[in-house]
Amino acid sequence: MYAIASLATLLVALLHAYFLLLEMFFWDKPLGLKSFGQTPESAAATKVMAANQGLYNGFLAAGLIWGVALGPAGDGIKLFCLGCVIIAGVFGALTASRKILYVQAAPAALALVLVLLS
């Protein structure tokens, strides 16, 4: 069970590394425009904000990877970071797009339950 919890946590970390790439480097490129349903004008106006948001996603990914690397001793770090991801996902779903609930919060909630059960 511990291996499954670690794998689920790493998958959430990979999602957040992907979000970092989208928000920091592809925000105003075709992939970013399509992913976030933006126009080139709105992307240009929010590019700095998106890069900042991407950096925070990178910190979450780093924390999750660190927690997994520590083994069972990192469970507290994993739970904290997964909790942050869930809260951010719920907030994003309420304020930006319901899709965030399924793409961000749900995988983190599953990983959190698996860590708790392992």
- Give pTM, 2 decimals: 0.90
**Alpha helices, H only, the chain:** 2-25, 30-36, 40-69, 75-95, 99-100, 106-117
Q: Residue 106 has what pLDDT?
A: 97
Q: Residue 1 has what pLDDT?
A: 80
Sketch the domain layout of the chain as residue ranges.
Answer: 2-117
The answer to whether residues 103 and 44 touch, using CB atoms and an 8 Å cutoff, is no
What is the radius of gyration, based on Cα positions, of the chain? 15
Return per-residue pLDDT of the chain as tens, 118 residues.
Answer: 889 999 999 999 999 999 999 999 999 999 999 998 899 999 999 999 999 999 999 999 999 999 999 999 999 999 999 999 999 999 999 998 899 999 999 999 999 999 999 9
